[in-house]
Amino acid sequence: MLVCSRCGFRYPEEFRLRCDCGGTLFVEKNISGRFGENLRNHFDIRRYLSFLPVSEGHLPVIIPAITPIVELALDGVNVLFKLEYLQPTGSFKDRGTYVTIAKLMKEGLTEVVLDSSGNAALSLAAFSKAAGISVHIFVPALTSSGKLELLKRLGTELHVIDGSRMEVHRAAIEFAERRGITYVSHWLNPYFIEGTKTIAFEVYESAGVPDYVLVPTGSGSLFIGLWKGFSELKKMGEIDRLPHFVAVQASGYESLCKRSEEKSHLAEGIAIPEPPRLEEMRKILIETEGKCMSVGDAEIAEAIRWLWEWGFIVEPTSATVLAALWRLRKDGSVPEGSKVLLPLTGSGLKLTQGI
């Protein structure tokens, strides 16, 4: 079942991005029994199939992994680094793509359009190949050359748009409407969030409930997914509290806190000034007594150097959460001894220039 976040209208579980009222949609699935009783005997994302809106006969060939958690005592807190950059195409997006492709396969859709700054596009391109789905990708001209090269090799039809991220978004929608091709925006797609919520299940199974979750936040596909995962655990009676959610945004692209004048060039994955799921994210900040904060390039550069020195080969967008944690520790907003989840979202192997 799909439910509108604005008017509450319900739709059958089909591939759909918005309600007729314009509101964004989310998936509602009734789970009977306890969390543990519903776990499958797989050691990858299929462990959580019972909680996902997919059909067993239509599952993608490529399978996202259960990623490791590295625990480090850092700055007086217990940090849980979740190594999402170890997914098949090097980012957490593979989880959302997995559920999305399963849905597209079920509906027999064979051609799709997506706009992306890189990681979501790479993920969709790789998963689509084996499913026989052809992919049009709209990317900003400033996308790193390594990602563009990979997209070409994965056989996508690439549309490079010389404009802002929002202009790329509008160009993709216009193209999809004109050509009558399915647009699969991960900003809007409710199935994408179903995939990212599985990170919360994994964290819970191996490390319990964190006190704080710091998330690189642009479109909110990870922020909302993590919240949904922990919320479903709470709904199942498995946990009795949610972590505090901190939305970490890139300087100059803030949507949940005050917009800075200086623009980040490093955090390309979250340079999204007008995300469509803004209202949902605001509600999460209130519900979890969380907060929004933004970090600039100088802090991101320092954090990524630290991460690389420790052997975490991530891209700059991933480093935003460490920069944020340092500041939150300095101003005392995250108390000593807290358990803090820092998802490391994207691989640095696609991007070595300028680091």
Residues contributing to the site for Zn ion (CB under 5 A): 4, 6-7, 9, 19, 21, 23
For Zn ion, which is the closer residue by CB, 97 or 185? 185
Q: Which residues, in sequence order, are CB contacts of 236 under 8 Å at separation 6+?
A: 31, 34, 35
Least separation, in Å, of the C-beta of 120 and Zn ion? 25
Least separation, in Å, of the C-beta of 8 and Zn ion? 7
For Zn ion, which is the closer residue by CB, 5 or 50? 5
Q: Which residues, in sequence order, are CB contacts of 88 under 8 Å at separation 6+?
A: 62, 63, 64, 65, 94, 126
Chain-centroid distance, C-alpha 287: 20
For Zn ion, which is the closer residue by CB, 24 or 128? 24
Least separation, in Å, of the C-beta of 128 and Zn ion? 29
Least separation, in Å, of the C-beta of 12 and Zn ion? 15
Residue written as tokens 């949902």? 280
Q: Residue 65 corresponds to which tokens in the numbers above? A: 């992994």
CB hemisphere CA count around 92 (13 angstroms): 33
Q: Which residues pair with 72 in a beta bridge?
A: 79
- Which residue from 3, 1, 209, 219 is spatially nearest to 96, judged by alpha carbons? 219
For Zn ion, which is the closer residue by CB, 92 or 187? 187
Least separation, in Å, of the C-beta of 230 and Zn ion? 25
Alpha-carbon torsion, ordered 206, 233, 278, 139, to 10 deg? 50
For Zn ion, which is the closer residue by CB, 6 or 291? 6
- Which residue from 345, 50, 17, 35 is spatially nearest to 209, judged by alpha carbons? 35
For Zn ion, which is the closer residue by CB, 20 or 157? 20
Least separation, in Å, of the C-beta of 26 and Zn ion? 11
